[in-house]
Chains A and B, each alone.
Chain A
């Protein structure tokens, strides 16, 4: 599986307006809706379930990245996108540090294995210092898209 298989490039946000967690999640889901990847009528409910999920346990895994996500019946095909914040967003991360890169993932509930495969893919790249650093430094959608494409060309470990 490649990042490009589920990352909606049109929905990437190079500078998040929100500086709080819930705002950042809403912004990314609205962006997915504008890109046609999510039914606009579902955006609010999806944002609420991602936030609820986040309240149960932060997906701020440390090192300035968070991966908010949810598995939900409303989602027909797995979709994701990326938001970057130069100021940092408080995600109640494990290491308590602000989050500069938010990778949002929405998955259908009936296929948990595929969801795990996508998460593994996301983390395999987030694990690399360079990928995190370049993501954090990206200022345009094009730069982030280039990073995704480069990551996809790398051999899978």
Chain B
């Protein structure tokens, strides 16, 4: 199959009560790093690198926070789907 550069963007809301704390951040970053696509996460006007755990901790994304996932690359769509799934499952917490 011919693979093309993709851009994918999705809005998600943090569901788990503990918010985006250290363990979910690590889960997120681990999955993000499985993809070639560049991944950024936006909260309001703040944008961080979705592959950097330290930057992800800066989002201070509590329960109910809206985030925008943006990916660019050959596997951008798959990356965004995998990460959206993780957030929607509440990081398998609670």
Contact = CB atoms under 8 A, between A and B. Distances in A.
Interface in A93-138: 94, 112-113, 115-117, 119-120, 122-124, 126-127
Interface of A: 56-59, 61-63, 67, 69, 71, 94, 112-113, 115-117, 119-120, 122-124, 126-127
B23 interface: yes
A58 B23 CA distance: 8
B89 interface: no
A119 B22 contact: yes
Interface residues of B, number: 20
Given A116-B19, A116-B20, A119-B60, 20 more contacts: A56-B23, A57-B23, A57-B27, A59-B22, A61-B53, A69-B22, A71-B18, A94-B29, A112-B19, A112-B21, A112-B63, A113-B62, A116-B21, A116-B60, A119-B21, A119-B22, A119-B57, A120-B57, A120-B59, A124-B58
Contacts of A126: 54
B17 interface: yes
Interface string B5-30: 00000000000011111110011010
Nearest to B22: A59
Contacts of B57: 61, 119-120, 122-123
A116 B43 CA distance: 15
Nearest to A117: B60
A123 B54 contact: yes
B65 to A, nearest CB: 10
Interface string B50-80: 0001110111111100000000000000000
Given A112-B62, A113-B62, A127 B54 contact: yes
Contacts of B22: 57, 59, 67, 69, 119
